Structure 1
Amino acid sequence: MKLSVIILAYTTTNGLFEMTSNCINSLIESETAIGVEVILVESNKNYFNSGFVYPEFVKVIVPDSDFNFHKFLNIGIKEAKGQFVALCNNDLIFYKNWFSAIYKISQNNKNVKSFSPSGNVNDVDFLKDFELGYKIRTHIQGWCLVIYKDVLKRIGYLDETFNFGYADNDYAMTLKKYNIKHALVNSSKVEHLEREKVKKNREDLSEGYKKLQENVDLDTSKLPSYVLTAGNKYLLEDKKVLDDYVKYHTKWGAPNFLYRKNKIADLLISLNLGFLNRIIL
């Protein structure tokens, strides 16, 4: 099997069920020539008694623990049998041959091991088949990441310190540290329905986010000095985002220090000395 797709879902209403179902249906219809394993990691602990039923070919896993973005993805990764693993939100629409385009790039560029599809589904004219890089929301689309499963064995499972925010930032830094090339594949089209999702299912998702807020244990009286700046005012208004922000910089370095380390790491990569990033980062 070439591909295992791991989808995180929170099935509590007809709207959320319909959104996830559309995601799964478009996935299956998009790739008819390859075998696709679908693993759904469900946050609704009462899913099996909820009356919502996904197709039989979907393996639904309901963890006992509370939602943690990386932990739930790791649960799916451990179950995956594919050569490639796709880590996906449930608010996606997959376009025809989206993975075939990624697979083609992977076979012609053996040194590239991580990929994201393009979210610009109406953009059919592009100069390059793919673009290498680690920029968040430019090269790395956190809502859909495709990676060789054996690479995950090399770098270890996703860091479960990050249970919501800054997960894609941590993924990008991990790739850079281990000198693993990532590509945005322009010919691979997957539509991210984030704005539509928020509009239609705001109350249900807000309830889930509120629970995440309640689980935050953060002593705001001991915040690092780099947080207390005018530009970070928005962080102080959202305890969950603030917690994730502090976790990220505790791991990788304070913002100014991390900026300098990244400059050095990028230079080493450009000189084909990226293997030294294990020391720098």
Structure 2
Amino acid sequence: MKLSVIILAYTTTEGLFEMTMNCINSLIESEKQTEMEIIVVESNKNYNNSEFVYPDFVKVIVPEEDFNFHKFLNIGVRESKGEFVALCNNDLIFYDNWFARIFEISQSNPQIKSFSPSGRINDFSFEKEYELGYKVRTHVLGWCLVTYKQVISKIGYLDETFNFSYADNDYAMTLKKFNIKHALVNSSKVEHLEREKVKKNRIGLSEGYKKLQKSVKINHNKLPKYVFNKGNEYLLEDDQGLSDYLKYYKKWGSPNWLYRKNKIADLCIRYNLGFLNKVIL
């Protein structure tokens, strides 16, 4: 059994390089018994001419294409050799045996094919070692996803329509559509160094990659009615965020319609009819 860890990085400052190295070092220390390969997909096109050099055991890929979250992960997946792949941000700290815990769950529950570690580092009060579900930021944590590589092949790789925002939402919906079970593994601990914990030039993946996104202009006179629903006022202040929102609901259906479809899909899963979700969703 081999684990391929794909890390997206944007190495333009000493702080960002240090952050990614801390991620890599904690990864190596956390899983000394696991055969691993580490692949860094680098968004700084000038990386090879820069002062920054990752260790020889790290495979660094610098795509010629412009940054796209799902595309860059797909590039890493295609280069990977492991039975399992971990899709990771670079602002992570891995704790002892984080993958071993996931592997144990995968072996005792072969029907579960996709996993997220818990970001609740100091919380050991959980009643269940794992929780099944597709709720984003509860079960599906987009900053660290672990899956069998065969799952990525089955779903046709990650949808490159989603260049950053709503990528985790799309992954969760795709799993549900293909009736692939996902679990949050409470005993697996990986810390996500979110924005408030990262200072000055040590900005996280989110802030760095927002700078790489092309500006988007949207005609607000031709927006679907659901955009103007109560609570969506913030969407009209950011065309990039609005564009990502529209991509998601264009693919999966308007919010009301998607809510209804999800209710039916959840019932199918409950009664072991999840195979019907490929038609429903």
Query: TM above 0.5, one fold?
Result: yes
Question: In the alignment, what sits opposite 2:213?
Answer: 212
1:207-246 equivalence runs, <5 A:
208-214=209-215, 216=216, 218-246=218-246
- Supply the AA of the counterpart residue of 2:32: T
CA distance in 2, matches of 1:279, 1:43: 37
* Structure 1 gap segments, 5+ residues each: none
Measure, in 1, the Cα distance between the counterparts of 2:133 and 2:208.
Answer: 35
Tell me if the contact between 1:91 and 1:197 (Cα under 8 Å) persists in the aligned partners. no
5+ long unaligned stretches in structure 2: none
Residues of 1 paired with 2:217 and 2:31: CA distance? 43
Q: How many residues align?
A: 280
Within 2, Cα distance between the matches of 1:64 and 1:243? Answer: 24
**Counterpart residue type for residue 61 of structure 1:** I
Aligned match of 2:269: 269
Normalized against structure 1, the TM-score is what? 0.96
Match of 1:88 in 2: 88
Distance 1:246 1:57, change over 3 A: same
Shift of 1:208: 4.3
SS at match of 1:231: coil
Partner residue in 1 for 2:42: 42
SS at match of 2:231: helix
For residues 47-88 of structure 1, the C-alpha deviation after alignment (integer angstroms, 9 at most, x for no partner) is 011100111111000011111000000000000100000000
Deviation string for 1:238-266 (max 9, x for gaps)? Answer: 22111110000000000000000000000
- The alpha-carbon deviation at position 230 of structure 1 amounts to 3.4
Q: Deviations 1:12-67 (Å, cap 9, x if unpaired)?
A: 00111111100000001100011111000000000011100111111000011111
Alignment pair present for 1:172 and 2:172? yes
Deviates most, 231-240 or 140-149: 231-240
Aligned partners of 1:26 and 1:94 also within 8 Å: yes
Structure 1 runs (4+) deviating above 4 angstroms are: 202-208
Taking a change above 3 Å as real, the CA distance of residues 103 and 126 of structure 1, as seen in their structure-2 partners, is same
Asked if structure 2 preserves the Cα contact closer than 8 Å seen for 1:179 and 1:277, the reply is yes
> Which whole-Å CA distance do the structure 2 matches of 1:165 and 1:88 have between them?
15
Q: What is the match of residue 112 of structure 2?
A: 112
Could you tell me which residue of structure 2 aligns to residue 187 of structure 1?
187
CA deviations over 1:146-201 (Å, ceiling 9, x no partner) = 00001111111000000010000000000000000000000000000013455433
In structure 2, what residue type is equivalent to 1:212? Answer: Q
Tell me the amino acid that sits aligned with residue 195 of structure 1: R
Q: More helix per residue: 1 or 2?
A: 1
Q: Comparing 114-123 with 191-200, which one deviates more in the overlay? A: 191-200
CA distance in 2, matches of 1:221, 1:8: 36
After TM superposition, give the deviation of residue 228 of structure 1 in Å. Answer: 1.7
Contact 2:252 2:258 (C-alpha < 8 Å) held by counterparts? yes
Counterpart code for 2:103: Y
Using the alignment, how far apart are the partners of 1:18 and 1:63 within structure 2? 21
Kindly state the Cα deviation for residue 213 of structure 1 after the two structures are TM-superposed. 4.4
Matched to 1:209, the amino acid is K
Return the letter of the residue paired with 1:156. G
Secondary structure at the aligned position of 2:213 is classed as helix
Of the structure 1 ranges 218-227 and 172-181, higher mean CA displacement relative to structure 2 is found in 218-227
For 1:268 and 1:232, how far apart are their aligned partners in 2?
30
Q: Note the alpha carbon deviations across 1:110-133, whole angstroms, 9 max, x for none.
A: 000000000001012310010000
Identity among equivalent pairs (%): 72
3-state SS of 2:188 partner: strand
Alpha-carbon distance change, 152 to 203 in structure 1, aligned in 2, over 3 angstroms: closer
Shift in alpha-carbon separation, 1:213–1:88, aligned structure 2, 3 A: same
